[in-house]
């Protein structure tokens, strides 16, 4: 039987930031999880409203089924962050930002024509699904009630790559050009290694 508070949502097209979708990663000693940060233009009000409606629906379901008609004061909602205001440093100018994570490995796919038929094909190479590419994310907003913490989490389900984009963090220069001005006495010979 499906959980009565879960609300599924399709987010896209979004830009993939810091995808950790092939191997889980632990932050600050916590449970290892798969995750991705999704960004999309603030001008995409339709997508923003779709996500906000899914969060609100999940909260209403939780209020009715878990909390006797009233949400606790400390109930935490997933935050669609403002890329211009909610980040120190560079941030994500002109973007909305939402992080999704899961302890379960998501399927990462692309759509291709195979034997004349459109199919979803698994992506297994991290160089093909990278920070900066674009796609859709299937997420589930889930209500939780732990001893102290109560709220809604954004669970990452699956990812669909739609197109390439400028790779984040990709170097635009070579090592030779970066170090051309470094003055060292002599090169190390093979027999010195």
Contact 159, 104 (CB under 8 A): no
Cα separation values, 171 from 28, 117, 127, 168, Å? 28, 38, 14, 9
Structure confidence at residue 1 (pLDDT): 40
Burial 56-77 (b: 16+ CB within 10 A, else e): eebbebbbeebeeeebeeebeb
Contact 44, 50 (CB under 8 A): no
Residue among 123, 130, 119 at smallest CA distance from 105: 123
pLDDT digits (tens, 9 = 90+) for 8-43: 999 999 999 999 999 999 988 889 999 999 999 999
User: pLDDT tier at 97 (50, 70, 90 boundaries)?
Assistant: very high
Contact 102, 157 (CB under 8 A): yes
User: pLDDT tier at 184 (50, 70, 90 boundaries)?
Assistant: confident
Mean pLDDT, to the nearest integer, of 57-81? 92
Q: What's the DSSP call for residue 185? A: S
181: helix, coil or strand? Answer: coil
58 CB contacts (<8 Å, ≥6 apart)?
5, 6, 7, 141, 142, 143, 152
Structure confidence at residue 25 (pLDDT): 94
Rounded CA separation 6/25 (Å): 25
Q: Which residue has the tokens 């992080």?
A: 99
């Amino acid at each position: 039987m499906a959980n009565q508070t879960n609300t599924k949502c399709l987010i896209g097209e979004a830009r993939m930031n810091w995808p950790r979708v092939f191997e889980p990663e632990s932050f600050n000693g916590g449970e290892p999880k798969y995750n991705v940060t999704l960004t999309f233009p603030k001008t995409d009000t339709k997508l923003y409203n779709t996500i906000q409606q899914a969060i609100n629906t999940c909260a209403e379901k939780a209020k009715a089924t878990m909390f006797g008609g009233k949400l606790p004061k400390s109930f935490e909602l997933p935050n669609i962050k403002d890329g211009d205001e909610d980040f120190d440093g560079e941030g994500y100018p002109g973007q909305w930002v939402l992080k999704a994570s899961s302890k379960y490995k998501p399927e990462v796919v692309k759509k291709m024509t195979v034997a004349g038929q459109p199919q979803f094909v698994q992506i297994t190479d991290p160089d093909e699904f990278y920070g900066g590419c674009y796609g859709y994310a299937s997420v589930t907003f889930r209500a939780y009630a732990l001893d102290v913490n109560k709220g809604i989490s954004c669970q990452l389900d699956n990812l669909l790559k739609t197109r390439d984009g400028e790779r984040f963090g990709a170097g635009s220069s070579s090592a030779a050009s970066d170090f051309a001005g470094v003055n060292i006495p002599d090169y190390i010979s093979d027999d010195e290694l």
